[in-house]
Amino acid sequence: MLAALALTPFYANRQFHLTHHGYAHQRGLDPEEAVQDHPFWFAATVGALLGLLQLCRIFLFNIRHIGNRRYTARALKDAAFVAFGVTVYFVLIPALHMSVFVTIVPVLAIMPMVFAFRALSEHYGLPPVLRETQKREDVLDGEAWYTGRERREASGWVVLTAPWLEWMWSHTNYHEVHHKYPYLSHSYLPQAFGATRERYPYEVVPGYWRSIINLSQREYYGARESAHQLRQESSQFRASGQN
């Protein structure tokens, strides 16, 4: 229902997200490449809208394939969710004599900026992950994508930030931990990070502002040397006890 109020087709987004997990940060395969593989400031300002466009394309693809049992249920549910959101904003809210300028306009204005600020700190600037296939297939099943490769390479960042922000964003700042343990509830990600931080090649950055400053100097597929340099800085930061 929250996805509907953000005018986001939930099952199309789930399909995008699972496919992203299946091919995380693999050049030419990861669906997020179309959203973020651009110069930093273009990705920061236009990337969220490109992401919404990708969801709309998946949604329309599913709609066109109604009749195929793999797509029918998700297409009809997404149509119902979007219809619900449209009804709330353009029928119910006006009926209560509330202006769209205090409802839908702020959502459409603020959500892309917040999404871009957070999303850029998840994968942008890391070296590409080695491709294991030459062809991408959209992932619909919640378990079909998992291969164990996620344990061996880092495809996302861990951003150390304030507890209240971790809570508000459902601990997505532990993004690489989420990729390694996607079946865990988000509330366990900090514990999983603490238990495995010496075992896996996490790329850690202290704070979102520092993350954004760091990423603004990189390309989407960053060089391994720059990632190594930031890892050393992050290790020094953690050793100082400031986190």
What pLDDT, on the 0 to 100 scale, is given for residue 139?
Answer: 79
What pLDDT, on the 0 to 100 scale, is given for residue 37?
Answer: 95
What pLDDT, on the 0 to 100 scale, is given for residue 236?
Answer: 54
> What is residue 127's three-state secondary structure?
coil
| CA separation for the pair 213, 125 (Å, rounded) | 11
How many other C-beta atoms lie within 10 A of the C-beta of residue 156? 23
CB 159 within 8 A of CB 173: yes
What pLDDT, on the 0 to 100 scale, is given for residue 137?
Answer: 82
Helix (H) or strand (E) holding 205: strand 203-206
Q: Distances in Å between the alpha carbon of 98 and those of 2, 88, 90, 94, 109?
A: 20, 11, 10, 5, 18
Token readout for 194 is: 């603490």
CB 37 within 8 A of CB 221: yes
What pLDDT, on the 0 to 100 scale, is given for residue 174?
Answer: 97
What pLDDT, on the 0 to 100 scale, is given for residue 36?
Answer: 93
Query: Roughly how many angstroms between the first and final C-alpha of the chain, as a whole number?
Result: 35
Residue pLDDT tens, the chain, 243 long:
888 887 789 999 999 999 998 889 999 999 999 999 999 999 998 888 899 899 999 999 999 999 998 899 999 999 999 999 889 888 888 899 888 788 778 877 887 788 888 889 999 999 998 887 888 888 776 655 555 555 567 889 999 999 999 998 899 999 999 998 888 999 999 999 999 988 887 899 999 999 999 899 899 998 766 555 555 555 555 555 444
What pLDDT, on the 0 to 100 scale, is given for residue 199?
Answer: 86
Helix (H) or strand (E) holding 158: strand 157-160
